[in-house]
Structure 1
């Protein structure tokens, strides 16, 4: 069954290359990636075993699909950075937060000025460490330094603070994220709604 799924993925991948009119010079890279996946499956996979869902590690928080979608709408879904994050997100879904971080670091080694990757690294580290660790703070700071007008870094920093129950700090971060978000941005309502809910929560807790 595993080989059938892998074959279907290969067919879909090359169909996408044709439909998206990707230059043929890049096809070899995709083919190499698929061959590597097949080799890895042959080496470590168990084709004869029944399928089972991977269980997330207990020490890390699993990435939320809604937040992955929001990040994509903030920064864009395509390009080389998007490819690194697609791989990182797949690892996060399987509970491999350590390898998720390594995948993002691979992208940063290629392009150390990517605001998207530094922001994603901060989020991944915060989930992996279950806190806004110094490493996560450094990643968010670097992202904000690269593009001070981008709402992504303060939004995801605020998310890490929410997970730590630092609601006051999170509200401040999300206020800044909303202020930096263009009025016509498709994701502005998402940030505003989360900020409103956070304020409601704080008001309830303060009663």
Structure 2
């Protein structure tokens, strides 16, 4: 019971801070979503009756860099949305190396928001990471569903290309990034970033061909 009492105490303290500092209603919504996700996770996986035990270190933590999140926010509308709350939770799981939990978080989001191209795109990314940086059938299906839901949005082809790139399949990544670039808003900062990354990738493939090395297989 101690764990649940501490959780209740944290909730009360958070509520008191919101009142004391007179924060705007948006902050209430964000804080409430964070507490809800935390409480749900604890209720689902928490075992307060067990004695303390050292945490098992992750064997494969996934780096979720600030610049990666910043680009994603510009591409897909930021973190302070219904979809974004699940992305934040997924990021936290990926940083610990728990790709299975990250995938489950996003699947939960899709059950709540089934037509979210944002969550389907992230699901494709998480499936690929969970399957050892491979474009598995599950990852491919998720990315394709994202593109069906938002055929004119650059995010699904960009992240599908990124998954192919992580898998070492440069040839498959290039046309997807070209499509993402073509769909990007003209002169937007994310368009410039995608163009820069595409230029680097095409240059790497060109150098490989000039040196007589075949690019990674499609």
Q: 1:79 corresponds to which residue?
A: 81
Relative to structure 1, the CA distance from residue 54 to residue 45 in structure 2 (aligned partners, 3 Å threshold; closer, same or farther) is: farther
Relative CO higher for 1 or 2, CA cutoff 8 Å, sep ≥ 6?
Answer: 1
CA RMSD in angstroms, aligned pairs only = 3.4
Relative to structure 1, the CA distance from residue 202 to residue 106 in structure 2 (aligned partners, 3 Å threshold; closer, same or farther) is: same
Relative to structure 1, the CA distance from residue 158 to residue 32 in structure 2 (aligned partners, 3 Å threshold; closer, same or farther) is: closer
Alignment TM-score, normalising by the size of structure 1: 0.79
Q: 2:185 corresponds to which residue?
A: 182
Structure 1 unaligned regions, length at least 5 = none
Offset of residue 170 of structure 1: 0.6
Is the counterpart of residue 70 in structure 1 residue 71 in structure 2? yes
The ranges of structure 1 where at least 4 consecutive aligned residues each deviate by more than 2 angstroms after the TM superposition are: 10-20, 22-46, 52-57, 66-69
Aligned partners of 1:62, 1:111: CA distance in 2, in Å?
Answer: 25
Number of aligned residue pairs: give it.
196
Question: What does 1:90-129 correspond to in 2, within 5 Å?
Answer: 90-129=92-131
Aligned partners of 2:85, 2:75: CA distance in 1, in Å?
Answer: 16
Q: 2:160 corresponds to which residue?
A: 157
Alignment TM-score, normalising by the size of structure 2: 0.75
Structure 2 unaligned regions, length at least 5 = 1-5, 211-218
Structure showing greater radius of gyration is 2
